[in-house]
């Protein structure tokens, strides 16, 4: 369900929340399509170095690692079915997966801040 909205530099994005161990482990696996203005926000219970892979993931994705303050610390491209680990460079609390190229297309960069759109509060 994508009823959660984020705002990054005024750009709106609908996100599904992966906020349980099960949801985080499945992520976007087995999906054939992701809407152009949609993504998945992974929420972890603590700030730590994160690692993602693309096992059983058909869609080329971009991932933003986000620290506890809602600041994007790195953005990486992920290739379908790639089982190598893509790690955050610093401890993070969140990760945001979107269609590959979405960040670049929307001029969203490292250092930008993510906010909840519906309450205009920080992530």
90: domain CATH number is 2.60.120.1140
Q: Classify each residue of 59-82 as buried b or exposed e, where b means 16 or more C-beta atoms within 10 Å of its C-beta.
A: bebbbbbbbeebbbbbbbebeeee
- Contact indicator for 116, 123 with CB cutoff of 8 Å: yes
What percentage of the chain has pLDDT greater than the value 90? 91
Q: What's the whole-number mean pLDDT along residues 70-93?
A: 97
Provide the pLDDT confidence category of residue 89 given band limits of 50, 70 and 90.
Answer: very high
Query: d(Cα 60, Cα 11) in Å, to the nearest integer?
Result: 21
Residue 66 has pLDDT above 50, yes or no: yes
Q: What's the whole-number mean pLDDT along residues 116-123?
A: 61
Q: What's the whole-number mean pLDDT along residues 30-41?
A: 95
Residue 117 has pLDDT above 90, yes or no: no
DSSP symbols for 58-101: -S-EEEEEE-TTSBEEEEEEE-TT--S-EE-SS-EEEEEEEETT
Instruction: Please give the tally of structural domains in the chain.
Output: 1
Q: Domain containing 57: what range? A: 4-122
């Amino acid at each position: 369900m994508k009823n959660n909205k984020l705002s990054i530099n005024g750009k709106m994005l609908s996100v599904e929340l992966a906020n349980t161990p099960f949801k985080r482990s499945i992520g976007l696996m087995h999906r054939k399509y992701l809407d152009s203005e949609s993504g998945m926000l992974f929420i972890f219970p603590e700030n730590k170095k994160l690692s993602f892979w693309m096992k059983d993931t058909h869609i080329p994705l971009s991932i933003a690692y986000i620290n506890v303050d809602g600041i994007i610390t790195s953005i990486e491209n992920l290739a379908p079915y790639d089982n190598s680990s893509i790690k955050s460079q610093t401890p993070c609390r969140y990760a945001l997966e979107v269609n590959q190229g979405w960040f670049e297309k929307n001029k969203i960069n490292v250092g930008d801040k993510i906010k909840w759109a519906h309450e205009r509060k920080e992530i």
